[in-house]
Amino acid sequence: GNSVTQMEGPVTLSEEAFLTINCTYTATGYPSLFWYVQYPGEGLQLLLKATKADDKGSNKGFEATYRKETTSFHLEKGSVQVSDSAVYFCALTNTGGFKTIFGAGTRLFVKA
Amino acid sequence: DAGVIQSPRHEVTEMGQEVTLRCKPISGHNSLFWYRQTMMRGLELLIYFNNNVPIDDSGMPEDRFSAKMPNASFSTLKIQPSEPRDSAVYFCASTSVRTDTQYFGPGTRLTVL
């Protein structure tokens, strides 16, 4: 079956540090891959997505590249800010489907 | 667009009472999802609908939980009777065939005393 595995948190970084959150997936077919972000007290919202192999999704300085050969979609940001403190969810949706499989979430704390 | 609307935002009730959570999806979206989020269990999919029809309710914890979608613009999640272990944040999300992105509401924080 389809599944998403992401690194456990919490991740604690100082402001302007480099961020990587690892995500790997298992899926049949050709899924679309996503990163969602959840700020305190809010629902999840889309951060970025990629729909096919080698695509790079990017938004707000965050990037992730769809790597089919390693079944990975790692999230990166070159310089984090305090305002990036949130929970980050890796997710996939299979072709033609509407059900999204979410990872367990990784909590990020950024210190000033 | 107003986004996904959930009500109430907060609900405090006593054990044994009936609780009804409400959701209005984004206009034009034909799939709707109910999730539950807790610190211990993370984000769990409870049930989802496509074109108002329940497709998969395997995540509904037990018979005390029920969900309906009488039309394309409204869904309810009911817990009867409620128990303290039902305390969680309940999210509704919607999507459509034109996008594979889920749009989440702000959630309802339920506390059962």
CB of B104 less than 8 A from some CB of A: yes
Q: How far is CA A22 from CA A80, A104, B92, in A?
A: 16, 12, 27
What pLDDT is stored for residue A1 in this prediction?
Answer: 82
Instruction: Give mean pLDDT, residues A28-44.
Output: 93
CB of B5 less than 8 A from some CB of A: no
B24 neighbors B108 (Cβ within 8 angstroms): no
Identity at A80, one-letter amino acid code? V
**Integer Rg of chain B from CA:** 13
Q: Per the CB < 8 Å rule, is B100 touching A44? A: no
What pLDDT is stored for residue B100 in this prediction?
Answer: 82
CB of B25 less than 8 A from some CB of A: no
Query: Who wins on pLDDT, B101 or B90?
Result: B90
| Ordered DSSP codes for B46-62 | EEEEETTEEEE-TT--S
Residues 6+ apart with CB under 8 A from B27: B1, B73
CB of B15 less than 8 A from some CB of A: no
pLDDT tens-digit profile of B32-50?
999 999 988 999 999 999 9
CA distance A62 to A57: 8
Q: What is the 3-state secondary structure (H, E, C) of chain A?
A: CCEEEECCCCEEEECCCCEEECEEEECCCCCEEEEEEECCCCCCEEEEEECCCCCEEEECCEEEECECCCCECCEEECCCCHHHCEEEEEEEECCCCCCEEECCCEEEEEEC
**Dihedrals φ, ψ of A83, to 5°?**
-70, -10
From the centroid of its chain, how far is CA A50?
11
State the DSSP H helix or E strand holding residue B101, giving kind and residue range, or none if neither.
Answer: strand B99-104
**Residue A45 is nearest to which of B31, B50, B104, comparing CB atoms?**
B104
**Residue A43 is nearest to which of B55, B91, B100, comparing CB atoms?**
B91
pLDDT at A75 over 80: yes
Residue B99's pLDDT band (cuts 50, 70, 90): confident
CA B101-B103-B107 angle, 5° bins = 145
**Residue B104 is nearest to which of A32, A43, A104, comparing CB atoms?**
A43
A interface with B, Cβ–Cβ below 8 Å:
32, 34, 36, 42-46, 49, 51, 89, 93, 98-100, 102, 104-105
A31 neighbors A2 (Cβ within 8 angstroms): yes
What pLDDT is stored for residue B1 in this prediction?
Answer: 66
Report the DSSP beta bridge partners of residue B36. Answer: B44, B90
pLDDT at A26 over 90: yes
Report the DSSP beta bridge partners of residue A13. Answer: A110
Residue A97's pLDDT band (cuts 50, 70, 90): low
CA distance B16 to A83: 40
pLDDT tens-digit profile of A45-58?
999 999 999 999 99
What pLDDT is stored for residue A29 in this prediction?
Answer: 82
Residue B29's pLDDT band (cuts 50, 70, 90): very high
**Residue A105 is nearest to which of B43, B50, B100, comparing CB atoms?**
B43
Q: Per the CB < 8 Å rule, is A99 touching B48? A: yes
